[in-house]
Amino acid sequence: MIGSFLIGIGGMVLLMGVWVVVQSLWRKSFSDYLSDDDVLADRRSCGNCGCTNICENKRLSTK
């Protein structure tokens, strides 16, 4: 019983760790085009703009 509980907690910790790694790698790869603290937020409803240029369908908010 406690083993299942620990496996569940360990799985959640592992999942959060993987998510932090994905976010940090994304931030390093596309640091010039980010306008939000959540680095994947600007990828929602993407219009197939590509990975190396700024999306023409969205306006970038300046900080």
* pLDDT tens-place string over residues 25-51: 887 877 666 666 666 666 655 555 666
Question: According to the per-residue pLDDT averaged within each range, which of 15-19, 34-38, 45-49, 59-63 is highest?
Answer: 15-19
What pLDDT score does 62 carry?
A: 45
* Residue 5 placed within a domain: yes
* Residue 11 placed within a domain: yes
Q: Are 34 and 27 a contacting pair, CB within 8 Å?
A: yes
* Residue 19 placed within a domain: yes
Which residue range(s) make up the domain with 12? 1-25
**For the chain, what is the domain count?**
1
pTM over 0.85: no
**SS3 of the chain: helix, strand, coil, percent, to 5:** 55, 0, 45
* Residue 50 placed within a domain: no
The residue-averaged pLDDT of 50-61 equals 58
**Dihedral of the alpha carbons of 5, 7, 12, 13, in degrees to the nearest 10:** 110
* Residue 59 placed within a domain: no
Q: Are 42 and 59 a contacting pair, CB within 8 Å?
A: no
